[in-house]
Amino acid sequence: MDKKRTTPVSAYLTAFAFTLAYLLYQYLLSGISNTVSPGKTVSTLVVFFALLVVLAFIAYKVLKDHTKAGLALWLVAELFLFSQKFFIISGIVAVVVVLLWMALTLLRKKKIAVQYVSFLLTALGFGLAIGMLSIRVPWARIFKHIPERNEPQNSDLSVPDSPPDIYYIVVDAYTNSYMLTELYGFDHSKFTDHFAINQALPGKGRACSIR
């Protein structure tokens, strides 16, 4: 395989991998998925990737080296495109992983190459993206509700003699706790605690998507 054909592409994958992980973090874990549709998230991903392509071209023109330009692009994305919380989390993880790899490499008396650092960060970025998906998907609930083959299904739909009183309160046009705190600095725990004290079961993160 021609090395010149593969190096330019792989050198910039680090920034794209971490950007994908960041957008998944924002959409799946921060509560934005309750207010933003998947289509808008995909369009945001396209915009981010297009911006990275432009910045990658500029970085290569300045540094004249694909590997260094790719690492510089990743640093720019970390500093200017990602949120502070994700910057801290991903930065600490990246530094720890790279330092451990460098220590292991020195113990084995091998040369530390910049290309290997770039490859390690790329793998870490995709690992973070996969981790975001695995945390969000309720695997236990999915497998729990998969019926066994030939398992008899419960068809008893009769009403009990003393059915409980169930009240489902829908607060229309009211965002969730995370977004109120993160975007507006508003704490409405008194509102939610009132239901918890009275043994209600608030649906955390429940909201209608904006499409």
Using 50, 70 and 90 to split pLDDT, how confident is the model at 31?
low
Backbone dihedral region for residue 199 (phi beyond 0: left; psi -120 to 50: alpha; all else: beta): left
Helix extents (H) in the chain: 3-11, 13-24, 38-63, 66-76, 84-107, 114-136, 139-144, 177-184, 189-197
d(CA 55, CA 128): 23
**pLDDT given at position 150:** 52
What SS3 class is residue 36? strand
pLDDT of 211 strictly over 50: no
Report pLDDT digits (tens) over 107-164.
Answer: 988 888 888 888 999 999 999 888 877 776 555 554 554 455 555 555 566 777 787 7
The residues near 37 (Cβ < 8 Å, ≥ 6 apart) are 209, 210, 211
Out of 22-26, 27-31, 174-178, give the one with best mean pLDDT. 22-26
Query: What does DSSP assign to residue 77?
Result: I
Domain ranges for the chain, please list them: 3-142
**pLDDT given at position 1:** 40
pLDDT of 4 strictly over 60: no
d(CA 93, CA 95): 6
Return the minimum-mean-pLDDT range out of 3-7, 53-57, 155-159, 199-203: 3-7
d(CA 163, CA 161): 6
Contact 117, 95 (CB under 8 A): no
**pLDDT given at position 181:** 77
Out of 94-108, 131-145, 197-211, give the one with best mean pLDDT. 94-108
Q: What percent of the chain has pLDDT above 90?
A: 23
For residues 57 and 152, the model is more confident at: 57
